[in-house]
Amino acid sequence: MHILIVEDDRLIAENLYDFLESCGHRCDFAVSLHNARALLQSMVFDAMVLDRSLPDGDGASLARELRGAGKILPILMLTARDALDDKLAGFDAGADDYLAKPFALKEVEVRLQALHRRSAPGPSVGAVAICHGAVCYEPRAQQIIMGGDVLTLPPKAVRLLAVMLPNPDRLFARRELEVAIWGHEQDSSDNLRSVLHTVRKALGDASGIEIRNVHGLGYKLVNF
């Protein structure tokens, strides 16, 4: 993979750079949003490690810019901001994964590999759109469409709807959704809650559907 590391702490950036290159990846790094934008315009990357607290602003603004432009570059936010509200803000901005500092270098590499695999196009040529209410999942483009408009959603949110839209009123256990989204059960329920928050915010009232929490059992997609 070609990985862009956006981190203003030189020691952290160098440790990430050296370790990821030792794993066989190619890396570039930027110390600011300005530097990162310049690199993104001049090169193609397979994934990005993005800090929140940068000298010229919040890294979340860069994630939001990329998603607003329709870019699907996998983004792993790597930051000292570990409160739930910070995670929600990161996922809302378009992050695909969120890892708090301090972290293990091997875990960063494993998460980047997982993000890269999931961002690869799947064997969906010829598949038809799956719709419920005003919301449709288009497998060929891996997009969610509502009222004729493409919703700007991070890949995890798209995967959640791709699983639930064909099965309205079906109860999904938390573990079942986590495996469908991440490929394995999560240590904390905060990760799934963050994705659900992003989806609920995007659907709003105009969709005619909602993801309802069935206390102690799981989640289901219902009309309202």
Question: Domain residues of the chain, as ranges?
Answer: 2-119, 130-223
At residue 124, does pLDDT exceed 60? no
Please report how the helices 190-203 and 84-93 are oriented relative to each other, as an axis angle in degrees rounded to 10.
50
Q: What does the alpha-carbon distance between residue 44 and residue 108 come to, in Å, rounded to a whole number?
A: 20
CATH fold for domain 2-119: Rossmann fold (3.40.50)
Q: What proportion of the chain, given as a percentage, has pLDDT over 90?
A: 43
Return the percentage of the chain with pLDDT > 70, whole number. 96
Give the C-alpha separation, 137 to 157, whole Å.
11
Q: For 162-183, how does the pLDDT look when each residue is reduced to its tens digit (9 = 90+)?
A: 889 988 899 999 988 988 888 7
Q: What fold, for 130-223?
A: Arc Repressor Mutant, subunit A (1.10.10)
Q: Is the pTM of this model over 0.75?
A: no
